[in-house]
Amino acid sequence: MNYPSNIIKRTKQAVSYGNRGMDLEHCLNESNVFYEEENRALIYKKPTPIGVVDVHYSSRGKVIDKAYFKSPSTLDYNGLYRGKYIEFEAKETKHGTSFPLSNIHPHQIRHIQKVLDHGGIVFLVVKIQSNVYLLDGQVFLDFIQSSKRQSIPYSYFLEKGHKIVEKINPPLDYLSVVDKIYFGGML
């Protein structure tokens, strides 16, 4: 078919059927709302810490006039599931066939070790090659300790990660994977 030159033909983006247009963070936030409404878990994204420089007071309360984002020393999400402490970081690798370790700050890596030491559940949720994987915190640390690579190859997620199924509701049913790994004796 010939298109007139003044009409731009939109190319279709590859999208996952269930959650078109939703990025990883949005999917996880929606899932957490679903889990809370279903009385299954209490898991929240922590607000990004900010440093407030200037404020003024208006009739509707304190208004921030200047602030900057601080880099977090813990992970994105934490909460309570089946009586256990749970914490995880979510990262999306849109292009590329490996997950750059630079995505996780050194103090976050130390934090993962601390959560393990104190008996918490800790993992990464990584979207790579249009798939979403849960990678256990200890398995992540094992990679760092045993490899000199600056990125985790996709094959490591295939081998050691656990695929999270995308659904309508919750958009990302990661707690079903948590059930299997941390409550079902798979690890």
* Positions in the binding site for a copy of itself (CB under 8 A): 36, 39, 41-42, 44, 46-50, 60-69, 74, 78-85, 87, 111, 114-115, 117-120
Considering the complex, what minimum distance in angstroms separates the CB of residue 65 from a copy of itself?
A: 7
Q: How far is CA 117 from the centre of its chain?
A: 22
From CA 135, how far away is CA 132, in angstroms rounded?
10
Which lies closer to a copy of itself via its Cβ, residue 19 or residue 78?
Answer: 78
> What is the nearest approach in angstroms of a copy of itself to the Cβ of residue 98?
26
Buried-exposed string 98-129: b where 16+ CB fall within 10 A, e elsewhere: bbebeebeeebeebbeebeeeeebbbbbbbbe
Which run of H or E residues covers position 95?
none
* Closest approach of a copy of itself to the CB of residue 110, in Å: 11
Q: Which is nearer to a copy of itself, 72 or 153 (CB)?
A: 72
Q: Which residues on neighbouring strands pair with residue 50, listed in sequence order?
A: 69
The minimum distance between CB 43 and a copy of itself, in angstroms, equals 10
Q: Select 133 or 174, whichever has its Cβ closest to a copy of itself.
A: 174
Q: Is 42 helix (H, G, I), strand (E, B) or coil?
A: strand
Q: Give the nearer residue to a copy of itself in terms of CB position, either 82 or 149.
A: 82
E strand intervals along 32-83: 41-45, 50-58, 61-69, 77-81
